[in-house]
Amino acid sequence: MRRGSVEYEQVLHAVVEILRDRACRGAETVEYGRLCAELERLGHHVPPHEGPMPYLLEDASAECSPDGSLPLLSGLVVLKETGTPSKGFFRLARRAPYHRSGDDTELWVNELKELARIYAGL
């Protein structure tokens, strides 16, 4: 699946919907494997840690916050082993246009709080 293809855009739309739903439920996190299982049920096969997944998560965050003013949806996706996002999330959060600061834990907790606040009641 190529970034920008019709198939990619369909999967991206599904990722955004899944993550927005979780944000509306109080910023409920999801493990990579569970996200992939939800996508599979919708007819999209995406491996959890390779292929297009990193780009899908980055693009989901960018789609919902193109100017960096809103919290990053990709912060909801966590590793099974640690229960926290991958290093890719923290790299994304610290670069333009997001420019998030703080140590990893502080940055992530703040994103989750903002996701819960912004999406509450939607």
Q: pLDDT tens per residue, the chain (122 residues)?
A: 888 899 999 999 999 999 999 999 999 999 999 999 999 999 999 999 778 999 999 999 999 999 999 999 999 999 999 999 999 999 999 999 999 999 999 999 999 999 999 998 76
Q: What residues contact 33, with CB distance under 8 A and at least 6 apart?
A: 48, 80
Query: By three-state DSSP, how is residue 27 classified?
Result: coil
Please report the pLDDT score of residue 50 as a whole number. Answer: 78
CA dist 43 and 31 (Å) reads 19
Please report the pLDDT score of residue 122 as a whole number. Answer: 66
Please report the pLDDT score of residue 6 as a whole number. Answer: 95
